[in-house]
Amino acid sequence: MRSNLWRVLLIGGVLVALAGCASNDEWATWKQHPTHYASGDHGFFSLRNREGKSATVTRDDIALARDQGWWGRPITVAQEQILER
Amino acid sequence: MMMTRLAAILAVLLLFVAVAQAASPSEDRILGLDRYTSDKGRTLAATYGATLKQINTSIYHCMPWLEVPKEGLGFYKPRDAARDDRYLSLRVYIEQEPSTQFAAMPIEQRASSMFSRYVGPLLRRMTGNGALLNDASLDGFTVILEWLKEAPMSGGRPVHETIAVFLDKPTALEYLQGMVKPPDLADRSRVYGWDGESPLGRLRLAAWDDNFVSTYKVANYQLAPGVTCH
């Protein structure tokens, strides 16, 4: 009984942790078309919406899309060149 | 029975933690108090910590196509300042569709476009706290805008263009009161540019009214529960 409860709890925790992640299909599609989602509304929209579901984009979807670092680490000016702490 | 209750409570807590993390911006966007190198900067940050959080949160939710980088918000000293002038400073990366038309413009024109579009609206978001505006320790405002120069070649690293706009407090106040119009705001700002890591020096920009920020909506964007944008 006790071990069953912990098993349920563990599975529940994993499900919660995975709730914000993209599915395998999403990543497979992204890998085939890396620039397709690289910017703008279309990327945000594509990541979220599926046939037959209502069309919504949340802030989490956008954050998730960015976190994947679509274009890689950019070449840009370091903040220390502009400002001092 | 006890275990069942414990499991249920833990599951609910996990859910709350996941939702809370997802619905708010990371606080590492704000320069930490222990990272300041002067008492003046640290005191401003301690006094207006809630204001910094509010700015961070409002940009995160209400302008989701902008990204504030780590330590992108704080009371920094401009590098060209002779004294310990402290400016409320905000750095954002502007996510937009790569455009060959935009990339073909001269840098001054791209910079002018970004200045016109973002400096005014961001300055208004940064100046919502009247007490901060009246604080004699605050010397001005910095808005740093950064965008993708062009779509990177396959396998290449992306290059960002950046402008840093420094506004002294009197200029900012006059702009907020409508006494300074966008073209004059550009004239009275100190603007520096960078192409990737390479400095372009001081830029002279033209500026104009641009209502993009007040009219643009990310398609199908759904605000998080309890969040309102003005």
B22 vs B194, more confident: B194
- In whole angstroms, what is the distance from residue B79 CA to residue B89 CA? 12
- Local structure of B137: helix, strand or coil: coil
What distances in angstroms separate CA B208 from CA B107, B118, B143, B163, B180, one per listed residue?
16, 11, 17, 17, 12
- In whole angstroms, what is the distance from residue B76 CA to residue B133 CA? 16
Contacts of B162 in chain A (CB under 8 A): 76-77, 82
Shortest Cα distance, chain B CAs vs residue A52, angstroms? 15
Shortest Cα distance, chain B CAs vs residue A27, angstroms? 19
How many other β-carbons are positioned within 10 Å of the β-carbon of residue B126? 23
Q: What are the backbone angles phi and psi of residue B36, rounded to the nearest 5°?
A: -75, 150
The model's pTM: 0.76
Q: Which residue of A has its CA nearest to B63?
A: A59
> Per residue in B30-66, pLDDT tens?
999 999 999 999 999 999 999 999 999 999 999 999 9
Q: Give alpha helix (H) positions in A19-80.
A: 24-32, 40-48, 59-67
For B10, the token pair is: 């833990």
> Per residue in B94-151, pLDDT tens?
988 778 888 888 999 999 999 999 999 999 999 998 899 999 999 999 999 999 987 7
Shortest Cα distance, chain B CAs vs residue A12, angstroms? 7
Contacts of A73 in chain B (CB under 8 A): 157
The domains of chain B are located at: 37-214
Q: What is the pLDDT of residue A15?
A: 46
Partner B contacted by A20 (CB < 8 A): yes
- Answer whether A49's CB lies under 8 Å from B220's CB: yes
Q: Is the dihedral of CA B13, B223, B143, B54 positive or negative?
A: negative
The domains of chain A are located at: 22-81
For A75, the token pair is: 């070449």
For residue A53, name the pLDDT band (cuts at 50, 70, 90).
low
Q: What is the ipTM of this complex?
A: 0.79
- Best mutation target, B84, B95, B154, to test chain A (most A CBs within 10 A): B95
| CB pair distance less than 8 Å for A75 and B76 | no
